[in-house]
Amino acid sequence: MAALSLGVVMNGVTGRMGYRQHLVRSFLAIRDQGGVELRDGTRVQLEPVLVGRNEDKLREIAHRHGLDTWTTDLDAALTDQNNQIYFDAQLTSVREKSVVRAIDAGKHVYTEKPVSETVEGALDLARRARDAGVKNGVVHDKLFLPGLVKLRRLIDGGFFGRILSVRGEFGYWVFEGDWQAAQRPSWNYRKSDGGGIVVDMFCHWDYVLHNLFGRVEAVTAKAVTHIPRRWDEQGEPYDATADDAAYAIFELAGGAIAQFNSSWTVRVHRDELLELQVDGTHGSAVAGLHGCRIQPREVTPRPTWNPDLPDTTPYREQWQEVPDNTPPENAFKAQWEQFVRHVVEDAPHPYDFLAGARGVRLATAGLESSAQARRVELAEMSL
């Protein structure tokens, strides 16, 4: 069947995430495969319109990938009736105003997270989108990672029995920028620019926990800035005012407890940069970005605590690898295809602005818990 054409305004593709994950690994990969296939076999080809503030960068990216359309005029791109979707990968501090302009222009909106800097702003966007009748979605890439896809399969198959706890370890060492260049942009470490690991990662933890294990009902967190001085992209020192590590306990609906350590100041002694250990009455699993290992109760060893003798039990060797069963897909590309199907044929897409607002609320509650040294309860959110 002939492919349909769908114009997409892509704002923020000159940034690291917007360029690598969304333009190159998602958008251009979809173009190369002939578009997004719908249920009836029809294909939807995506036509990107690159938008940003730096004309030279836009021109260079467009030339590099053989793209024809780019502009520094967001309003002009939104006015074009051929463009039906607006995508935002800008800094969080400027995202909300641009999304409002897209909604007012009648565009369906797909955006990186956090969707807004405040819970009130995120809920306002959700209401605006609802009232305007436009489809809306927020990036939720972790759920499409092969390791978490396997974890979802274990949960759906009843492998765990009753889930008791989830332990999450995420992070790596980000160099300070003086003697080795930092792997993250300097704005990540400035609170005034919307930086901080709580704002960055708690939005992820909310949708991971909500969709796999249960709604977060309460949070107790401690956010810290372990390294207060860093060096920016020009080699100039600056004060790091945003948190670079967070230690949290999330209480989930149904009684399970989740503990997450998130850090840009930890040296990795794990198989992957993100690992989740899930323990249940019938079995346990350790899932990463790609791999997932299990240990059912029938083959669980019987450890004995004796600090006077070396423990020679090969614990890690006693876990079984979960097979892929289906070919792994790029997480960002898969969710782009999901959102396009949602727009064109109204396929399910639960990760809307309300879900995005829930993630912003968890980050806000985590920072509140840390600042006030108390447990913060979270009611069910609705519009």
- Write down the pLDDT at residue 3: 66
Q: How far apart are CA 177 and CA 181, in angstroms?
A: 4
Domain identity same for 313 and 178: yes
Give the span between the Cα atoms of 91 and 270, in whole angstroms: 30
Q: Per residue of the chain (383 residues), give pLDDT as tens.
A: 456 899 999 999 999 899 999 999 999 999 999 999 999 999 999 999 999 999 999 999 999 999 999 999 999 999 999 999 999 999 888 999 999 999 999 999 999 999 999 999 999 999 999 999 999 999 999 999 999 999 999 999 999 999 999 999 999 999 999 999 999 999 999 999 989 999 999 999 999 999 999 999 999 999 999 999 999 999 999 999 999 999 999 999 999 999 999 999 999 999 999 999 999 999 999 999 999 999 999 999 999 999 999 999 999 999 999 999 988 889 999 999 999 999 999 999 999 999 999 999 999 999 999 999 999 999 999 98
pTM for this model (two decimals): 0.94
248 part of a folded domain: yes
Residue 341 maps to which CATH number?
3.40.50.720
Judge if 23 and 133 occupy the same domain. yes
Instruction: For residue 382, tell me if it sits in a domain.
Output: no
Same domain (yes/no): 247, 100: no
Q: Please report whether residue 215 resides in a domain.
A: yes
The dihedral through the CA atoms of 96, 99, 103, 105 has a sign that is positive
Beta-carbon neighbour count of residue 120 at 10 Å? 12
306 and 284 belong to one structural domain: yes
**Buried-state track 35-58, b at ≥16 Cβ within 10 A, e below 16:** bbbbeeeeebebbbbbbbeeeebb
Is 383 within the bounds of a domain?
no
CA distance 120 to 328: 37
- Pair (101, 147) in one structural domain: no
| Phi, psi values for residue 274, rounded to 5° | -125, 130
183 and 165 in a single domain? The answer is yes
Same domain, 155 and 135: no
- The rounded distance, in Å, linking the Cα atoms of 252 and 249 is 10
Q: Are residues 369 and 235 in the same domain?
A: yes
Instruction: Based on the fold, state whether residues 264 and 221 are members of the same structural domain.
Output: yes
Tokens encoding 46: 């995506």
Question: Are residues 318 and 190 located together in one domain of the fold?
Answer: yes
Provide the 3-class DSSP secondary structure of residue 205.
helix
CATH of the domain at 257: 3.30.360.10
- Residue 227 structural domain: 142-328+364-376
Whether residue 355 sits in one domain with residue 300: no
- Residue 158 lies inside a defined structural domain of this protein: yes
Q: Is residue 192 part of a domain?
A: yes
- 299 & 181 share domain: yes
The total number of structural domains in the chain stands at 2
> How confident is the model at residue 326, as a pLDDT?
86
HSE-CB for 233 with a 13 A CA cutoff: 6
Alpha helical stretches, state H, the chain: 16-17, 29-32, 55-64, 74-79, 92-104, 119-132, 146-156, 197-212, 331-345, 353-372
Domain membership flag for residue 126: yes
Residue at 195 is within a domain: yes
Q: Which of 229, 122, 239 is nearest to 175 (CA)?
A: 229
Strand partners, 85: 8, 108
